[in-house]
Amino acid sequence: MERREITTSTDRLFSRRRFIYYTAALAAAAACGPAPAPATGSATGSPVGAVQLRGTKVNLLHWTSFVPDEDKWFKETLVNDWAKPNGVDLTVELVSANEAQPKIVAALQAGGGPDVMLLQWTWAHLYADKLSDVGVIAEKVGSDGGGFYDAMKQNSQVQGVWRAVPFGLLGNAIHWRESVLKQAGADKFPATWSDLTKVAADAKSKSKLFLGQALGHSFGDPPTFVQPFLWSYGGSETDETGKKIAVNSAATKDALVAFKEFFDKSADPQCLSWDDSSNNRAYAAKQIWATLNGASIYLTALKADPDLAKDTQLALLPAGPKGQVLLGVPFQYAIPKYVKDPGPARELVSYIMSPKTYGGFMKAGSGYTLAPYKKGEGDLWPSTDPKFDPFKKVGTLTKWYGYPAPPSQAAAESGSKYILVDMFAKVAQGETPESAMSWAEGELKKVYKL
């Protein structure tokens, strides 16, 4: 083989031997110098401890909010403020609330899928065996946030173990038009169901607009109306122990009789097919004068129809003979057991739920999603609009599926099957309260295996 002569300065500089010298020198210098710090999760005061984040991937399954700015916060702010600086490849998958459960079930059954999933209602009880214990994060978040509301804790803790970290609460309020209420001869929104029935009947006869209440198989508006209605008359699925079906009772009958009168006089049968978006559209089109909904109707009107927004007021559900009870839609973050390295997922949840970050999120969403902890109605309250003030009471007044018994798998299953919603829908369709109660009792016995 012919030997190549080193003749030029460039050749001398980049000869094979010299290249080895330079490389070795650089390696030695690098070894002696300060090492670049790995991105860890300690920056937010995370309870998770030091977690190697750089180079990891996290897949977050979230619901598509009715307020697009909330989605934008997850897609942009969260990615820019947390994922990119920490070198995390964060995927935010947004699905509609009604489609979230099939995805979650499929992932849990297959043993693979999102690293963090947003649960609704009491699903943590339904999937408890397949969810990691997230007690360390939940305790820290709760403590930093001034304590979780009772309902949020009930939904997330299964037999004393935190299977999810409370994320937030959609507070539903009745959106009503002041002009129509005045037309009906009332000067303030009724405080009881019986008064509302009278006022709404007058409003319907005078304005030809009805109170639109969704009663279809949809995740939010139907259950958040019928369950508080039932509870406020003293009715419930089971007794306080959850061991005895109590739906077929005098209290339930009172509730159903009152509801039938309310529905016939003030609502419209078309509501039986409504889902969570139907009433938003009907209100925006001024086809109805009042409806129970999250603040999205009002927030949308502020941008799209300022006159309608000006005419719109918000009120919590009225009280029944047994008082005022609410059912906000609770959300929780869960980390499935199939996630092999849960560190980054835990770090993400800790980051989102820290009051500082969460305050920013609430501001971005104009307070549509309410905080699961008490600081949310205090320091973090994002709105200066007094119309929003009723929402401050939602966290305290809200109950859970299965109330007054503790949440359970059966209560979650009953909610997923819309048994109470259908009991009310049957009465609205003309079935007698006795028949509807008897039907519900049969179905609940099957669900509760009693």
Partner 1 sequence: MRAETHERPVTAGQLPSIGELLDRQGVLAYVLLLPGVLILAAFIGWPFITSLWLAVTDQSVSTSVVRFVGLDNFTDELRSQIFLQTVRNTFVYTGVTVVFKLALGIGLAVLMNQSFRLKNIARAALLLPWIVPTALSAIAWLWLFDATFSVFNWVIVRSGLADRGINWLGEGAWAMTSIIIANVWRGTPFFAISILAGLQTVDRELLDAAAVDGASPWQRFWRITIPLIRPVVLIVLLFSTVWTISDFQLVYVLTRGGPANSTHLLGTLAYDVAVRAGQLSQGAAISLYMFPVLIVCVVALLVYMRRSSI
Binding site for partner 1 (CB under 8 A): 101-102, 105-106, 108-109, 125-130, 215-218, 269-275, 278, 281-282, 285, 287, 409, 412-413, 416-417, 422, 425-426, 429, 439, 442-443, 446-447
Distance of CA 114 to the CA centre of its chain: 17
Closest approach of Cβ 230 to partner 1, in Å?
A: 16
Query: What is the three-class DSSP state of 321?
Result: coil
Report the residue number, 96 or 143, with the smaller CB distance to partner 1.
Answer: 96
Closest approach of Cβ 244 to partner 1, in Å?
A: 19
The token pair that represents 353 in the structure block: 């739920």
Report the residue number, 50 or 106, with the smaller CB distance to partner 1.
Answer: 106
Report the residue number, 265 or 417, with the smaller CB distance to partner 1.
Answer: 417
Cis peptide before 404 (omega within 30 of 0): yes
Paired strand residues for 192: 319
Residue 43 neighbours by CB under 8 Å, 6+ apart = none
Residue 143 neighbours by CB under 8 Å, 6+ apart = none
Report the residue number, 124 or 370, with the smaller CB distance to partner 1.
Answer: 124
Report the residue number, 272 or 362, with the smaller CB distance to partner 1.
Answer: 272
**8 Å CB contact between 211 and 291:** yes
418: left (phi over 0), alpha (psi -120 to 50) or beta: left
C-alpha pair distances (Å), 83 with each of 10, 36, 59, 74, 118: 44, 18, 11, 11, 18
**Residue 312: which of 288, 334, 336 has the closest Cα?**
288
Q: Is the CA virtual torsion 348, 354, 356, 358 positive or negative?
A: positive
Phi, psi angles (nearest 5°) of residue 204: -65, -40
For residue 335, which amino acid is it? I
What one-character-per-residue DSSP string does 16-30 give?
HHHHHHHHHHHHHHH
Q: Which string of b and e fits 162-174 if b means at least 16 CB within 10 Å? A: bbbbbbbbbbbbb
Residue 361 neighbours by CB under 8 Å, 6+ apart = 70, 73, 77, 352, 369
Closest approach of Cβ 178 to partner 1, in Å?
A: 22
Closest approach of Cβ 163 to partner 1, in Å?
A: 11
- The CB density around residue 117, as the number of other CB atoms within 10 Å, is 27
Report the residue number, 141 or 245, with the smaller CB distance to partner 1.
Answer: 245
Longest dimension (CA), the chain: 108
CA distance 18 to 9: 12
Report the residue number, 105 or 257, with the smaller CB distance to partner 1.
Answer: 105
Report the residue number, 270 or 324, with the smaller CB distance to partner 1.
Answer: 270
Report the residue number, 335 or 425, with the smaller CB distance to partner 1.
Answer: 425
**8 Å CB contact between 245 and 444:** yes
Report the residue number, 54 or 337, with the smaller CB distance to partner 1.
Answer: 337
Report the residue number, 176 or 263, with the smaller CB distance to partner 1.
Answer: 263
**8 Å CB contact between 219 and 276:** yes
Closest approach of Cβ 109 to partner 1, in Å?
A: 7
CA distance 307 to 301: 8
> First-to-last CA distance in the chain?
91
C-alpha pair distances (Å), 181 with each of 172, 257, 285: 20, 24, 18
Closest approach of Cβ 408 to partner 1, in Å?
A: 11
Report the residue number, 141 or 214, with the smaller CB distance to partner 1.
Answer: 214
